Chains A and B, each alone.
Chain A
Amino acid sequence: MLDDFLIRAGLAALGVAMAAGVLGCFVVWRRMAHFGDATAHAAVLGVAMALMFGWSIFAGVGLVALTMAVLIYGLTGRGQAVDTILGVLSHGALATGLVAVTLIPGQRVDLDAYLFGDVLTVTRMDVAIIWGGAALVMGVLWSHWTALLTATLNPDLASASGINPRREHLILTLLLAAVVAVAIKVVGALLITALLIIPAAAAARGFARTPEQMAGLAAVLGAISAVAGLKVAVMLDTPVGPTIVCVAAALFAIGTVVTKLRSVGV
């Protein structure tokens, strides 16, 4: 069954979209979108390193995303104005990655595949790694759910209950790096943040009553975007990653309109 490239692509997209949907709720609640961008943009540098040293793409991207995420985590702990620094790091890493890729001797690298993803070429091994990573992210979120939620709500409230809010922040940071690593082949460095934020934002549109409902809904919306996006992309012969994000954005728009209509009593 896994011999069919479309099925492999669908499974890969599904795994990434569901994990990103749930983790994305925390990104939205904590307003970490820029943080996600910076970590994801650094992935291109990871691609360059992986190609240069002959590592697996997952390893290179994971390593650089992790380094970037921990760097930003350290900076945010010192109460600096983070927004500007994130901008510098994010685009600095992206530009360095783009330059570094062209400096690799002896091969022309298809940059588009890493910027926008190339899910149709994933191998069985890729699918296994993606699902392994996604399962790890989901597992950690599951086991830390209450502590993460309390720390997100209010750091002092967490401290008073014996939860270390900085530790929970670090855990989210590491999970973000893991999602970036498994998402690079599916949607590419430029659209990873979209996969984190859009399903979660759509799920926040007045349908969910608890954080858990919102997270579940975000995972479902991510899964719908992944499967429908792949179908549409094959039908219209468009790039899969951006098409998945288009479907997610359309779901967000529909959710917004429906919420507005409900609020005015239609």
Chain B
Amino acid sequence: MELISPTSPEELAAVLAQASAAARPVVPLGAGIHQHLVAPPPPDALRLGTTALDRVLEHVPADLTLTVQAGARLGQVQVVLAGHGQWLPWDPPGGAAATIGGLLACGLAGPLRQAYGTPRDWVLGARIALADGTLVKSGGKVVKNVAGYDLHKLHIGAYGTLGVIVEVTFKLAPQPAAWRTLLAESADLAGALEMAARLAAPPLAPASVVVCGGGTHYRVAVRFSGVPAAVARQGQYAAGLGATALADAAAAALWQSLSDFGTPPDARPLVRLGIAPQQRDAYRTAIDALGAHDGVYQPTIGAARMLCADLAGLAAARAIVEPLGGAVVVEHGAGDAPRWGAARDSARLMHALRQRLDPAGVLNPGRAFVD
């Protein structure tokens, strides 16, 4: 497949305009490490890479704002920010190597979402190349702004089907002064989920709580961030609940592996579950139905990512989760199984939007939930 890596937003937009005119499918591409999250591209597609658009355009430390090009890698951006004691509080799969545009387009978030929300909550504005080659902006560079529609939100989790993100402005967070990670163990999933709930309940306010493992060995990892005194106190409280403190180096390696779970994928199907966190029973029974042998679970969020032996339990899991407003998505290894699950009742609106923003249907056609 042909790969073009434009060096300016205008050049990228011109490529899109030509593709639209020729009705040629386009695959927008960041680092390329999350392409397995959507269906394989059409054979004649043009790959449109953003990695040559990798500049940090503006960092105003005193305003806690940052504007970067979409092809900048998260790790590269964090290095720039760390010099000022700031960061983007994200730990998506793919980590440092993922491009900003790619991780937004895929709507990725990691265990830090417990305390810091998802990247969506940090985006102030964006510049987008539409399928017809128009370059447009929405939002702005200030933290508060209600002028016009927040169009940039539409592109987060859209897998590039509404346009190609070329620049993004974020608000930033100050880096926490202190961190502490603790671990607990459990022989079964039920016990581990129970422990995770206790570690997330007041007075504790963790940055992340994750259950991982499978079979008869599960671990519960919790971390706290903030001012040193408060972190120390929460760590003590968590220790009182039966968790054991982990040294910093080991903790960093652990969280990296939890973020990166299933990335890159192996031969086994990788399945993602999302359900309202209050649906604890459905969460459990859907996981059981899938027969996961390894997984990373965030019960307090209602999220899970699992490696399964096969997809025999997919329909059963969906039958539990979908009536409650949740979804089970096969991130990788779907084979002939339906990847996205049942359409939402807003599907008609989503189609209408896609039709309006990409009338030629050239952006990742047939790859995401919308076609």
Asked if A pairs with B, the answer is no
